[in-house]
Structure 1
Amino acid sequence: MVYSMVKILEIYDSYTKGHSEHVAMLAEQIGKTLGLPVSDLQTLYWAGLVHDIGKILVPTSILNKPGKLTLDEYEMVKKHPVWGYQVLNTSEELQEIAFIIKHHHERWDGNGYPDRLSGVDIPLLSRILALVDTYDSMTSDRAYRTSLSPEDAKHIIARLSGNQFDPSLVETFLSLPSQ
């Protein structure tokens, strides 16, 4: 069932295919480095694959817009974690994954969305997804900008430690072999 959802998202937004796979694999790598149990690694991997499933409700004209989003457009994009949660939470088997993806845009400092959680109130697996999602987005070409080098993206991640990201996860991420 999860693979079917991934395929739907890939058809809707071709950028998501490689992005979701990269996020899933990198999130799992961080989880292994942290020594998380196998069950958490599996949840993290699957959550990585479907973390953007809510984007199927965002018009492609917004997702692929080459310029800056309007405030209304940005507010619509910000709804995708909740929409993804609502889609996945209807299945008992996917409720844990739904909860994780709902919070993958929360920030360590509490300025994220949808619930403005902060610090350790953000589920650990969501904090991992937030970090690797941002990294992969920065190192991928988008409609509105070209990609950054892995080194430049890592410098930005390091700078955002303690604000956007969990400092201990940033330290773990930066210690990994090159992505």
Structure 2
Amino acid sequence: MTGIWIVTGCSIVVVAGLVILLVGKCRKVDVLQKKQKQYHDIVNQSLETFAHAIDAKDQNTNGHSQRVAIYSAEIAKRMGMSDEEQEQIYYMGMLHDIGKIGIPDAILKKPGKLTEEEMQIIRNHPTIGGEILKDFTAIQGISDGARYHHERYDGNGYNEGLKGKEIPLAARIICVADSYDTMSSKRVYKELHEENYILSELDRCSGKQFDPAIVPFMIEMIKDGTAPLPRPDYKSR
């Protein structure tokens, strides 16, 4: 009997030790998860701050970066991309215009038509944005959205003249979302376009400016009311 009690006692000690070990590991996992969430929140808040700084350079585009991010992530979702890919594209959309930080305010806020020289300066913003983000490793490929969102599916975009699937998928998605938000936004120098006009432009530019595999998802979003998102009433530029 004494031997049985000794064995039983040892078993209890072993089990208790395992429980303590597991509890300790669970606590470590909990601490790690909290730290990961804190890190995620810091990254998210930092990128949102950058996006607000971009849009603040021109009241004409207030909220543009966030809307493009939301549209881009929704397109990615409807294309069947993973949650992680959707999040990456969201952040890429958020910072797609970060290169405008390097463009003089006098050009960004000019009320009249831009000269050819000024247009060339504006067209440098994708390259500037790509360079700003190229060493940002927290989100894989985040510079692609900034660098390539003005490339065209037919190869007639800028600045590198990439064509078709040479253009990263995220940039092709952002190109559609960016163009849609521009067409559907009211600005001092133009009224917002009617839905029918926007739908016809998306269809007309499919296979030219836009990836024809992506356009149907943007059209679907318009028709089911996912787009447009609410936007401010612009009063200045």
User: TM-score under structure 1 normalisation?
Assistant: 0.92
Q: Name the aligned partner's letter for residue 141 of structure 1.
A: K
1:67 matched to 2:67? The reply is no
Conservation of the 8 A alpha-carbon contact between 1:139 and 1:147: yes
Other-structure match for 1:162 = 207
CA distance in 1, matches of 2:52, 2:63: 12
1:132 matched to 2:132? The reply is no
Conservation of the 8 A alpha-carbon contact between 1:135 and 1:154: no
Conservation of the 8 A alpha-carbon contact between 2:183 and 2:192: yes
Structure with higher RCO (Cα < 8 A, 6+ apart): 1
Q: Name the aligned partner's letter for residue 15 of structure 1.
A: N
Taking the TM superposition and a 5 Å limit, the aligned residue runs for 1:3-42 are 3-42=48-87
CA distance in 2, matches of 1:67, 1:145: 12
CA deviation map 1:4-40 (0-9, x unaligned): 3123223322333311111111111111100011121
CA distance in 2, matches of 1:41, 1:95: 12
Q: Which runs of 4+ in 1 moved over 3 A?
A: none
Judged with a 3 Å threshold, the aligned counterparts in structure 2 of structure 1 residues 8 and 153 are, in CA distance, closer, same or farther, namely same
Other-structure match for 2:30 = none
Q: Provide the aligned length of Structure 1 versus Structure 2.
A: 179
How far apart are 1:56 and its partner, in Å?
Answer: 1.2
CA deviation map 1:93-123 (0-9, x unaligned): 2451112321000001000011100111111
Q: Name the aligned partner's letter for residue 103 of structure 1.
A: Y
Judged with a 3 Å threshold, the aligned counterparts in structure 2 of structure 1 residues 95 and 17 are, in CA distance, closer, same or farther, namely farther
Select the structure of larger CA radius of gyration. Answer: 2
Unaligned runs of 5+ in 2: 1-45, 228-237
How far apart are 1:78 and its partner, in Å?
Answer: 0.5
1:78 matched to 2:123? The reply is yes
Q: Name the aligned partner's letter for residue 191 of structure 2.
A: T
1:43 matched to 2:88? The reply is yes
1:103 matched to 2:148? The reply is yes
User: TM-score under structure 2 normalisation?
Assistant: 0.71
1:152 matched to 2:208? The reply is no
